[in-house]
Amino acid sequence: MTGHTNYKTLRNYIEFDSHTAKAIDDLYIHRNTFKSRIKKIRELLEMEPDSPQERLYLMLIFRILRRYPELASEQEVRL
């Protein structure tokens, strides 16, 4: 699993407000694959994306990166 794959998975999870079905449809992956990726991301980041504070933090990061894509290229994403 690459950093970019983790990035897209977490971004979808946050942007679709934890609605797994919507995130899965957007990524075109199986439900178990998605659940496995989210579990791995939680372990890598040592955080809980369902926590209101951490969700807000992640939402802000993704919005900043969407607005200023030059801040992080695909190669720099290290999730």
- What integer pLDDT is reported at residue 18 of this predicted model? 79
Per-residue pLDDT tens over the stretch 26-71: 999 999 999 999 999 999 999 999 999 999 999 999 999 889 988 8
Residue 4: count other Cβ atoms within 10 Å of its Cβ: 14
How far apart are the C-alpha atoms of 48 and 50, rounded to whole Å?
5
Residue 23 has pLDDT above 70, yes or no: yes
pTM value is 0.81
CATH fold group of domain 3-76: Arc Repressor Mutant, subunit A (1.10.10)
- What integer pLDDT is reported at residue 8 of this predicted model? 93
How far apart are the C-alpha atoms of 27 and 12, rounded to whole Å?
8
Per-residue pLDDT tens over the stretch 7-22: 999 999 999 987 899 9
